[in-house]
């Protein structure tokens, strides 16, 4: 991804407390406001046509979707609320699964998520999450997620090209994505395609993950968009269902621009499968007893996906640093103004 965006803010300026004033005259931020508004409106339009319902959910939870255990790729943010330990939501996917038992065509939300890691060029400590859960299998949700991001990209072209183009060095990258079919390949196929390059993959006690360098190579060779699916089962959290072999997860990531922009997966239908996955990932069942009980009481076959909104905007704007794509900065362990 070429860094071409103009008017980059002084994110780490000596007087960081004045950033909120310094960015007022920068075109990037007036455009960012319009892009955020577009994502909100077009997301609602997209799901309304499919009768998928919006949920209003809290930002606190007792059940983080990335617990400490195998397959977790983020740190939870614990807080004390009136003497009760709880977490700020890293995702409300579990509540979307619950919502599917009340909304037969599925449900979605657009809300903040919180992570315990420090921010870097492609990660924010607090970001906006567009997540949905629908009835169906992995193939169903991949198709819907692909339609969703194309819907947003098409709306950007139709409504904001005059503002996005000068900041992104043109709109050819969006047109190219819309004019092509997204490549789909398994994780094993990707390892073979990249000759098992050690800069592209990491091995952790028998299971593997892909690096940012590996994601970029796949995008360069097979992009502009690549759906990468069927990761090693222990490399993803416990809630992802597994294929018939019991070794591969029924999951997929959409690689686009900066790398992973959407993550999706099929869920366990039965409580007994959740219990087995919790044991296999080293996560205590007591921490997720309500989730197991829900599957026991109301089994339902669903799949879901989550898109990092700022990651999507990185691609739209061809911007090199996600930390710039916040109207108001928030970093773990730092006092923020305003």
304 vs 266: CA distance, rounded Å = 7
70: confidence class by pLDDT, cuts 50, 70, 90: low
What pLDDT does residue 68 have? 59
**Average pLDDT estimate for 14-18:** 63
Q: Which residue has the tokens 């993550």?
A: 263
Q: State in Å, rounded, how far the first CA of the chain is from the last one.
A: 32
Q: Using the predicted structure, report yes or no on whether residue 186 has a pLDDT greater than 90.
A: yes
Q: Using the predicted structure, report yes or no on whether residue 290 has a pLDDT greater than 80.
A: yes
What pLDDT does residue 64 have? 85
**Average pLDDT estimate for 239-263:** 97
Structure tokens at 260: 């992973």
Q: Using the predicted structure, report yes or no on whether residue 96 has a pLDDT greater than 60.
A: yes
16: confidence class by pLDDT, cuts 50, 70, 90: low
75 vs 254: CA distance, rounded Å = 22
What pLDDT does residue 7 have? 47
107 vs 141: CA distance, rounded Å = 13
Span of 55-69, 241-255, 319-333 with lowest mean pLDDT: 55-69
What pLDDT does residue 1 have? 45
* Secondary structure (DSSP) of 15-38: TGGGHHHHGGG-HHHHHHHHHHHH
> Taking the domains of the chain in order of start, what are their residue ranges?
16-324
74: confidence class by pLDDT, cuts 50, 70, 90: confident
Percentage above 70 pLDDT, the chain = 93
* Nearest residue to 229 via CA among 262, 205, 196: 262
Sign of CA dihedral 3, 333, 125, 210: positive
Q: Class of 16-324 per CATH?
A: alpha beta
Strand 183-186 to 225-229 pairing: parallel
Q: Using the predicted structure, report yes or no on whether residue 18 has a pLDDT greater than 90.
A: no
Q: Using the predicted structure, report yes or no on whether residue 9 has a pLDDT greater than 80.
A: no
**Average pLDDT estimate for 234-256:** 96
**Average pLDDT estimate for 98-118:** 97
* Average pLDDT of the chain to the nearest whole number: 93
Which residues are paired to 256 by β-bridges? 225, 259
Of residues 327 and 4, more confidence is placed in 327
What pLDDT does residue 69 have? 60
pLDDT, tens only, 195-240: 999 999 999 988 999 999 999 999 999 999 999 999 999 999 999 9
Residues 315/261, Cβ–Cβ less than 8 Å: yes
274 vs 220: CA distance, rounded Å = 37
* Nearest residue to 263 via CA among 240, 297, 292: 240
């Amino acid at each position: 991804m070429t860094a071409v965006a103009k008017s980059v803010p002084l994110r780490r300026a000596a007087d960081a407390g004045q950033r909120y004033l310094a960015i007022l005259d920068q075109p990037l931020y007036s455009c960012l406001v319009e892009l955020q508004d577009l994502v909100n409106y077009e997301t609602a339009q997209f799901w309304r046509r499919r009768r998928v319902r919006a949920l209003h959910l809290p930002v606190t939870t007792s059940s983080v979707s990335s617990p400490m255990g195998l397959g977790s790729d983020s740190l939870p943010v614990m807080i004390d609320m009136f003497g009760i330990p709880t977490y700020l939501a890293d995702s409300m996917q579990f509540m979307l699964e619950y919502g599917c038992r009340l909304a037969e065509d599925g449900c979605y939300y657009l809300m903040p998520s919180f992570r315990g890691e420090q921010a870097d060029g492609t990660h924010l400590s607090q970001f906006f999450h567009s997540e949905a859960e629908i009835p169906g299998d992995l193939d169903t949700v991949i198709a819907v997620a692909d339609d969703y991001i194309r819907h947003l990209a098409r709306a950007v072209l139709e409504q904001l090209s005059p503002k996005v183009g000068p900041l992104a060095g043109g709109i050819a990258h969006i047109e190219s994505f819309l004019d092509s079919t997204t490549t789909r390949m398994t994780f094993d196929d990707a390892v073979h395609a990249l000759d098992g390059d050690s800069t592209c993959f990491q091995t952790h006690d028998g299971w593997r993950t892909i690096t940012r360098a590996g994601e970029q190579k796949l995008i360069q060779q097979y992009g502009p968009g690549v759906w990468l699916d069927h990761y090693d089962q222990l490399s993803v959290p416990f809630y992802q269902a597994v294929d018939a072999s019991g070794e591969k997860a029924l999951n997929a990531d959409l690689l686009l621009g900066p790398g992973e922009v959407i993550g999706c997966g099929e869920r366990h239908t039965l409580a007994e499968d959740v219990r087995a996955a919790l044991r296999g990932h080293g996560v205590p069942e007591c921490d997720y007893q309500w989730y197991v009980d829900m599957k026991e009481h109301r089994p339902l076959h669903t799949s879901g996906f989550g898109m990092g909104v700022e990651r999507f905007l990185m691609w739209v704007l061809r911007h090199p640093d996600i930390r710039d794509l916040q109207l108001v900065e928030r970093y773990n362990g730092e006092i923020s103004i305003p």
